[in-house]
Amino acid sequence: MPVRAPSVCGYCGKAHPSGERCATVKRMARERKARFDEKRPAAAKRGYDKEWAREASAFLALPENELCRCGAGACVVMHVKSIRARPDLRMVKSNWRPGCQRCNAIDAAQERQERKPS
């Protein structure tokens, strides 16, 4: 099977196998994520407290909520209307839907794009 040629890293200047990130890039990514996490409020401050965790677990335990709309196994409760936009709907089960990590991340990214000023 053919293998792609190594690529030269723009940060350290060394050649690395295709698809492999160099240690410098990995370190930079870890530092960037750590800076983001320092600014991010705690889960409880974002509305995900013990009550939420208990209710979400019970919601996902129901047989009709075992799959995300993409067909993957549901592991998170997603809000139909974001709790950033409508915090009053945080615990309203009619505003909940089962989801997977991937779909939840996609929805969150789309919401951030919509909130971003042009």
pLDDT of residue 104: 94
Q: What is the pLDDT of residues 19-41, one digit of tens each?
A: 888 899 999 999 999 998 899 88
CA–CA separation, 16 and 22 (whole Å): 7
Q: What is the pLDDT of residues 43-100, one digit of tens each?
A: 888 878 899 999 999 999 999 999 999 999 999 999 999 888 888 999 999 999 999 9
pLDDT confidence band for 7 (50 / 70 / 90): confident
Q: What is the DSSP string of 54-101?
A: HHHHHHHHSGGGSB-TTSSBP-EEEESS-TTT-GGGTT-GGGEEEE-H
Question: What 3-state DSSP class applies to 7?
Answer: strand
